Structure 1
C-alpha cells in the first residue's frame, strides 16, 4: 500500500501511523475528506482466518462503545478481496509506551490526567461487561493535554457468570507477560480484577519508568508475577505519594480479593489523592514533549 495513491474502498490512505506484527494503522480520508484511521491486516496475515476472526471480534466489541476515553470504531469494511478492516476515530497521539521515552522531566505534568482518564476509560469498558485482558501502555493513546484513550479490543471477552468466557489464540494464555495477573498466568478465567492488576503494573511503569518485574527469561518473569511481592514505586520515584504507592500495591495483590474490586474504586481513590508530592512543572514550549506522531 502506498500513501496518497492507494484506496481501501472509499478511503484514501494518506500516512502509515504505526505497524505491528499483525496489523497496520493508516491515517486516511473518505470521499467527504473526513479524516479517519484504518486498521488493516499485514499482507502476510490477510488470509489468516484466526486474525480475520479477531478483526471482526474487535469490531463487535468496540462499535457500540461511546466514551471520551475509549477509541471509537465506526465501521467494519472489506477490501476488494473481501478482507475486513476497521474504520476508527482519527487520533494522532502516541501510545503511553512511546510517550514514556520522552522522560519524566518532559511528561511529568501530563501524568495525573493521563492516569485518571485511562482509569475512567477502563471503568466504562468494564461497565459494558467486558474484560480487556491486555491492559498495558501500548494500548492507550494520549492526547495533547494527557487525556488517554483505550484501544485494541482483540482479546476482550464478555464477562458472564462472574468470569470471562475465554477466546484465545490456539489455546495459549492471553495477555502480555510484563502485565499479566497471576490468575491469567495460571490459565484461570480472568475477571475485571485481572485488568486491575495489569493497570497497577502500567501505573508502576508510568511512574517508575520501568516495569515492576524484570527477568532473564519469560518463565522467570511469570514466576515473579506469581510469587514475588510487588515492589514499591515510591522506592524508585521519591516524588510519588504514599497514598498512590499504596494504591498500586493493592492493585498488584496476588489474590484478586485483596485488590480494588472495580475500576470505579480506583477512580475514586485517584480523585481523593495526589499522585505526586510536588506537581511536575510544565516544560517550556521548546522542551515540551512530542505527543503527536510525526
Structure 2
C-alpha cells in the first residue's frame, strides 16, 4: 500500500492510513505522465525529439511531452514562446537553466539533457521527464503539511540550493511552484528544484540596475528593492516557502503587490505558533531566522540552514544553532539611493 501524499510504501496490509501524515493508503500511483492533446503532435525537433502531448505553460514557455528517438525514452521539452525568442536577453535567461544544470549536477535539481532551436528560431531545452506534481499544486489542494512530511522536503530543497550557491548560482525565484515532487513507490517522494531562468550566475552578466526579477510573495526585501542579492536572498524565499508549507498561508498577502512588498520590507512576519499552536519551537525559530529583514541577521548561508534542518530531523548531531541577531531591531537597511527612496514610499503604504 502506498501513501498518495508522502509516497511511502507499506508492506503491512493492516495499515489503512499513513502513520506519518494520516492520508488513506492506495494500491498504486499512476505512472503516466500528464499530457494533453496538442496541434504540435508528431512535430520533430532537431531530427530527434518527437512531440507527443502538451504538459503545461508558463509565462515565457510551453512544455511538451516528447519521445527521444535515439534513447527511446520520454522527455519533457520546454520551448520559449516566439514573442520572447526574438529578445536576446530573454533567450539568454531561458537557456540559463542548461548552464546551471551543467555546472551543479545535484540529485535535487532537475536534469537538463539537451538544448536546440526550432526551425522558426525559438530555442528549446530538453529536461528529464518528472512524474508527480509541484509542491505548489499540492499545497493548493491540501492547504498545509505535517512537520514530518514538510521537513524532509525542506532538507532536499536546502541541499539543492546550497549546492547551487557553492557553484556561484543564486536562484532568485524560490517558491513552491518551482519545486517538483517526484512520485516514487520505493520510498518518500523526491523534490527537484526547477526553473533557474532567473538565476544570477557568478560568471554571467549582472541584472540591469533597477530591474526586479522574481515572485512578489516570496521576495526578500533586498530583491524587491533591486539591491544586491546573494545566497541569503534564497534563504528568505525558502523561509516564506516553509511558512506556507507549515501554516497553509503566506506570511504576507494582499491583492496589492505594492502592499506585499511593503510588508516584506517593513513588517514583522507572524510567528508560526500564532497560526499553528503546538508547532515544534525549533522549527518556529528556523523559519523566523530565515525571514529576518536584514540579510546579515539571517542564516549566513543556505548550508547553515540545511545543517539546522538536519539537526531537527536528528540526522546531524546537536541542537539547532540558528543565527545571532547581529543588529536589533531587525529593520532592512537599503544599499542604493533608489532603494532608500523606495523604502520611504513603502513605509507610507502601511497602516
Q: In the alignment, is residue 227 of structure 1 matched against residue 266 of structure 2? A: yes
**Map of 2:191 onto structure 1:** 148
**Map of 2:318 onto structure 1:** none
Q: In the alignment, is residue 29 of structure 1 matched against residue 37 of structure 2? A: no
Q: How far apart are the structure 2 equivalents of 1:35 and 1:65?
A: 23
Q: How far apart are the structure 2 equivalents of 1:263 and 1:55?
A: 25
2:173–2:214 CA contact under 8 A, matched in 1: yes
Question: Which deviates further from its counterpart, 198-207 or 79-88?
Answer: 79-88
**Map of 2:117 onto structure 1:** 78
Paired residues in the alignment total 271
Q: In the alignment, is residue 268 of structure 1 matched against residue 311 of structure 2? A: no
The superposition leaves residues 162-219 of structure 1 with CA deviations (integer Å, 9 ceiling, x where unpaired) of: xx96325x95211111011111122111010011011100100111111110124111
Name the TM-score, length of structure 2 as normaliser: 0.72
Deviation at 1:113, TM superposition (A): 2.0
Question: Which deviates further from its counterpart, 218-227 or 54-63?
Answer: 54-63
Task: Select which of 91, 98, 107 maps to 1:68.
Answer: 107
The superposition leaves residues 103-149 of structure 1 with CA deviations (integer Å, 9 ceiling, x where unpaired) of: 15887753222111111111111111111111111111112223211
2:49–2:67 CA contact under 8 A, matched in 1: yes
Q: In the alignment, is residue 249 of structure 1 matched against residue 281 of structure 2? A: no
**Map of 2:17 onto structure 1:** none
Deviation at 1:46, TM superposition (A): 3.6
1:37–1:88 CA contact under 8 A, matched in 2: yes
Q: In the alignment, is residue 38 of structure 1 matched against residue 81 of structure 2? A: no
Q: How far apart are the structure 2 equivalents of 1:182 and 1:75?
A: 35
For residue 133 of structure 2, give the secondary structure of its aligned residue in structure 1: coil
**Map of 1:283 onto structure 2:** none
Task: Select which of 40, 43, 50 maps to 1:6.
Answer: 43
Deviation at 1:274, TM superposition (A): 4.9
Q: In the alignment, is residue 211 of structure 1 matched against residue 254 of structure 2? A: no
CA RMSD of aligned residues (A): 2.3
Name the TM-score, length of structure 1 as normaliser: 0.85
2:292–2:298 CA contact under 8 A, matched in 1: yes
Q: In the alignment, is residue 19 of structure 1 matched against residue 62 of structure 2? A: no
2:63–2:77 CA contact under 8 A, matched in 1: yes
Higher relative contact order (CA 8 A, sep 6+): 1
Q: How far apart are the structure 1 equivalents of 2:93 and 2:40?
A: 25
Question: Which deviates further from its counterpart, 247-256 or 78-87?
Answer: 78-87
Q: How far apart are the structure 2 equivalents of 1:206 and 1:229?
A: 19
Deviation at 1:251, TM superposition (A): 0.4
Task: Select which of 93, 97, 102 maps to 1:58.
Answer: 97
Question: Which deviates further from its counterpart, 42-51 or 91-100?
Answer: 42-51
**Map of 2:157 onto structure 1:** 118
